[in-house]
Amino acid sequence: MAASSNQSNDVLYPMQTPLSRADLFKLKGGLTLFLIGLAVPILLLLEMRYVVAGGYVAPQVTQWPAIAATVAMLLSGLFTVAGSKSAKKANRPGIVRSYNWAILFALIAIILIGIPAFNGVLDPVSHYGETFIPTMGTIDVYLFFTWIGMLATRSRVKRLGNKIENYWGVYATNIVLWFMFVCWVVTWVQLYYL
Amino acid sequence: MSVTPGNSPLQATGELPVVPRRRMSPPMKGVIWAAIGFLLLNSIVSGIDPDVLHSYVNQVSVVFGWMGAMVGWLFGVGGWDALVKPAFGFPLKWKETVGWRRYFEYSTDHKVIGIQYMVSSGLGFLIAGIAAMMMRLQLMSDHMWLFQYSKGYLTTVGVHGTIMMFSVGTVFMVGGLGNYLIPMMVGSNSSAFSRLSGISVWMVPAGIMTVAFSPLLGDWTTGWRGYQPLASQDGDGIIFYYLGVFILLLSSLIVALNLVATIVFKRAPGLTWNRLPMYAWGMLAVSFLNIIWIPEIMMTFILALLAKIVPLPLFTAVGSPMVYLQMFWLFGHPEVYIVVVPALALWMEILPVLSKKTLFARQWGVIGLVFVMLLSGMVWAHHLFPTQGNSTILPISFFTEMISIPTGFAFMVAIGTIWKSKFTLNTPSLLVLMSMFNFLIGGLTGVFLADPMVNMQLHDTFFVVGHFHYTIIGGMVFSSFAAMYYYLPKFSGRTFNDKWGQFGAYWIFIAFNATFFQFFIVGLRGMNRWVPVYPHYLMWQNFEISICAFLLGFGFLYNIGYIIWAWVKGPAAEENPWKAKTLEWYAPSPAVGTNFETEPQVVNGFYDYSDGAGEAVVFQS
């Protein structure tokens, strides 16, 4: 969406313009394309693991951070859902409160996913290790950028206050976080159990 | 010149935009921020490196330093003020400027962005062209004379191929012409994701510079493919190859997302799929290819980079040097169609207009574009025939030959359209015909190479080099020049002298064929690729090929120079000099400001030139 302006020539932000159904359709479509693009490297990495390491799973791979990261991401996702529900009622303080928790749990997930990849338990030049580390690293990088998006959404809601006309940013962040959750769960199950 | 770009934040007030107070030029600010970003991240990573004997700039730190430089560059050219700060809800201070300066800073106007893409791509064409001239200079003799070592020659080959493929072939007709034309073609005043698009264009010069200066870090011998595990034995320049290509591909990925969303979601009322312009169909097909394959190759390059700098043995383990080959060519062959499909679409866009005849078999043209897109992902292994068994070779050979059928639909539509028409033979149509001829040669030799027996003999010879130059230069570059001449009145409001245009077209056509047809012959005579020295009996043919190549280089310079001259000084053009019916010609020429003051409604197809055919577009008051 291009920015637009009001009578006093203030430049408006995307969240400050009302969105029609067609606008929302366009934004959802664009986001879907973006997520399809994001899924391709994950699929490549999952395939790469079988090419290089077959179905082998290293016995020393650390289990608990992965389980804890899954819980943290789930909690983060639940709070972004709560944020979206608040957005439907235009309850801005509710969005900010939900996002405070969502951001915290997403940060915890980022750290937890980084632990098994970088705690030195796995040999990075083993067949399993050399696919495990880039895959976990990619998920972590994706999640880091999602986290920045969550920070931006929260900051926008807080700063723009009652000038907000649409909450697409809140809904989109929620969708992206759940997409990340699915990517993570698939990766976790595949790398740890299959 | 007072200009209100199509989607400027200021246009809604109806006032002319205010020239902002003087400020540092955004590219200069970008360079300074990039330098700061590099120093900062390189220093941090270098500082925490536990190896005390490492140098200040080492393999790992330079990667992070480069990332810092890219972020600094993109923030400096306008991303910080116009994108990041507003994303966090801070007041937007940035205002789109006017006049020529707007081409040197962040913009959300798709037309400005399109021209920025074209100019950046043109810069890449010149740099890669100079590299090609250096290669031909070396090959004028059968022994080393221009380059001291073969690695220098191979690095030049790599820089040439990389910049040509990733910043010219992939960018000019999609990022450049696509960004400029598609919103107008679908009857919109802006592209779908104009803010994102405004920043993606600045990745192109950064990517080109990264690749162009990569030899300063050390020679790399892999060509445009970045082959692992070979790359792990190369100098550190290969690191900048991976990084430079990564940022170029990221730019193309954003272009693809933007174009698909624009075509799907921003079409004017009445612009059904049956009426969608052929160039828009081409952009749609190419963008889907980009959305699928670019993330795949970006991830592959990250893995290859890790294999170089960690180093992980990703591509040397369990007999898997083949893994990288497969992963690269999975993208690599669709890439050829990413380059060529826009050219095929452009033929079908220009020819009915200049023939004044209804587009022949339009549906087959669309089917051809879509099936080329679908089949392009099933032919990659023909690049690897000498490493494959029969079980792989035969189906891939079959699909490679099959793909010539939907490609042939474009020829059928083009020839059927000009057949018995009132054809206007001018510079753009001449260049389209030349492009068709060249691509036919490239395509036929491609079918020839798809035959496994032939492929085994000709693999890694100049025959293959001739083949792909006929498709890429012959198909895409000639079509790009056709587009530049055809759309010049739209870009600039000026036109060209057709005699001088045709002179330039014949020049490059003759020089191109004199150069690259001989590649087939010299390849059949035993000239190998990837070697700066060769048997003495091939020297005189290589010598005169080089002379022809220099003539071709000067021919391209002539055409670029003439187009620039006509853009600035050419005679004024009519609003719609070709009497075309597509929507972009309903926008003002030169196309500055708002594309459509009132929303257009499409009521008929754009390519119907039959008697009694009505207007394609009406405007609601």
The predicted complex's ipTM stands at 0.88
Helical segments of B310-361, H only: 321-355
Distance CA B67, CA B214 (A): 15
B419: left (phi over 0), alpha (psi -120 to 50) or beta: beta
CB contact under 8 A, A44 and B299: yes
Of B194, B300, B323, Cβ closest to residue A2: B194
Positive or negative CA dihedral for B258, B260, B265, B268? positive
Distance CA B576, CA B424 (A): 15
Residues in chain A, total: 194
B493, two tokens: 């409001």
Distance CA B605, CA B601 (A): 12
CB contact under 8 A, A30 and B192: yes
β-bridge partners, B572: B494
Within an 8 Å CB–CB cutoff, is residue B144 touching chain A? Answer: no
Q: With both helix axes pointing from N to C terminus, report the angle between B404-418 and B321-355 in degrees, rounded to the nearest 10.
A: 10
**A193 burial type by CB count under 10 A (0-12 exposed, 13-18 middle, 19+ buried):** exposed
Positive or negative CA dihedral for B14, B16, B18, B24? positive
Q: Which amino acid makes up residue A153? A: T
Task: Tell me if B385 sits within 8 A of B393, measured CB to CB.
Answer: yes
> What is B111-619's CATH topology?
Cytochrome C Oxidase; Chain A (1.20.210)
Distance CA A14, CA A27 (A): 11
A29: left (phi over 0), alpha (psi -120 to 50) or beta: alpha
Nearest Cα neighbor of B150 from B549, B528, B425 is B528
Closest-CA distance of chain A to residue B344, Å: 25
Distance CA B597, CA B587 (A): 9
Of A12, A30, A159, Cβ closest to residue B257: A30
Which regions of chain A are under pLDDT 50?
1-11
Of A1, A40, A131, Cβ closest to residue B295: A40
Q: What angle do CA B480, A37, A15 make, to 5 degrees?
A: 95
Distance CA A81, CA A79 (A): 5
Please list the rounded mean pLDDT of every run of 10 residues in chain B (621 residues). Answer: 36 46 82 97 90 84 96 94 89 77 90 96 97 97 94 96 96 97 95 91 97 94 90 92 96 95 93 96 95 93 90 70 86 93 96 95 94 89 87 90 93 96 96 98 94 92 97 96 97 96 98 97 96 96 97 98 96 93 93 89 92 85 65
Q: Which amino acid makes up residue B282? A: G
Task: Tell me if B153 sits within 8 A of B526, measured CB to CB.
Answer: no
Chain A, chain B: beta-carbon pairs less than 8 Å apart: 119
Task: State residue B22's pLDDT score.
Answer: 61
Q: Which amino acid makes up residue B489? A: P
Q: Which amino acid makes up residue B595? A: N
3-state secondary structure of B441: helix
Domain boundaries, chain B: 22-88, 111-619
Enclosing H/E stretch for B454: helix B452-458
| Chain CA centroid to CA B371, Å | 21
Q: Which of A16, A25, A40 to mutate to test the interface with B (most CBs of B within 10 A)?
A: A40
β-bridge partners, B54: none
CB contact under 8 A, B9 and A158: no
Task: State residue A166's pLDDT score.
Answer: 86
Task: Tell me if B356 sits within 8 A of B609, measured CB to CB.
Answer: yes
B319: left (phi over 0), alpha (psi -120 to 50) or beta: left
Q: What is the dihedral of CA B65, B71, B73, B76, to 10 degrees?
A: -130
Closest-CA distance of chain A to residue B294, Å: 8
Task: Tell me if B3 sits within 8 A of B99, measured CB to CB.
Answer: yes
Nearest Cα neighbor of B595 from B86, B148, B84, B109 is B109
| 3-class SS string, B246-273 | HHHHHHHHHHHHHHHHHHHHCCCCCCCH
Which DSSP symbol is given to A51?
H
Q: What share of chain A is helix, strand, coil (3-state, %, to 5)?
A: 80, 0, 20
Distance CA B449, CA B467 (A): 9
Residues in chain B, total: 621
Task: State residue B2's pLDDT score.
Answer: 34
Q: Which of B299, B301, B310 to mutate to test the interface with A (most CBs of A within 10 A)?
A: B299
Task: State residue B318's pLDDT score.
Answer: 52
Nearest Cα neighbor of B289 from B432, B183, B174 is B174
Which domains can be identified in chain A, with CATH numbers? 20-193 (1.20.120.80)
Task: Tell me if B568 sits within 8 A of B544, measured CB to CB.
Answer: no
Within an 8 Å CB–CB cutoff, is residue B412 touching chain A? Answer: no
B189: left (phi over 0), alpha (psi -120 to 50) or beta: alpha
Chain B residues within 8 A of A45 when measuring between CB atoms: 299
Distance CA A193, CA B404 (A): 44
3-state secondary structure of A5: strand
B287, two tokens: 């963008």
User: Tokens 């082959």 belong to which residue?
Assistant: B227
Task: State residue B21's pLDDT score.
Answer: 57
**B42 burial type by CB count under 10 A (0-12 exposed, 13-18 middle, 19+ buried):** buried
Of B292, B302, B306, Cβ closest to residue A40: B292
3-state secondary structure of B528: strand
Q: Which B residues 195-254 touch A at CB under 8 Å?
A: 195, 253
Task: Tell me if A3 sits within 8 A of B92, measured CB to CB.
Answer: yes
Closest-CA distance of chain B to residue A109, Å: 22
Task: Tell me if B331 sits within 8 A of B297, measured CB to CB.
Answer: yes
Task: State residue B221's pLDDT score.
Answer: 93
| Contacts of the segment B296-299: beta carbons below 8 A, 24+ positions apart | B296/A40, B296/A41, B296/A44, B296/B327, B296/B330, B296/B331, B297/B249, B297/B327, B297/B328, B297/B330, B297/B331, B297/B332, B298/A41, B298/B246, B298/B249, B298/B250, B298/B253, B299/A40, B299/A41, B299/A44, B299/A45, B299/A138
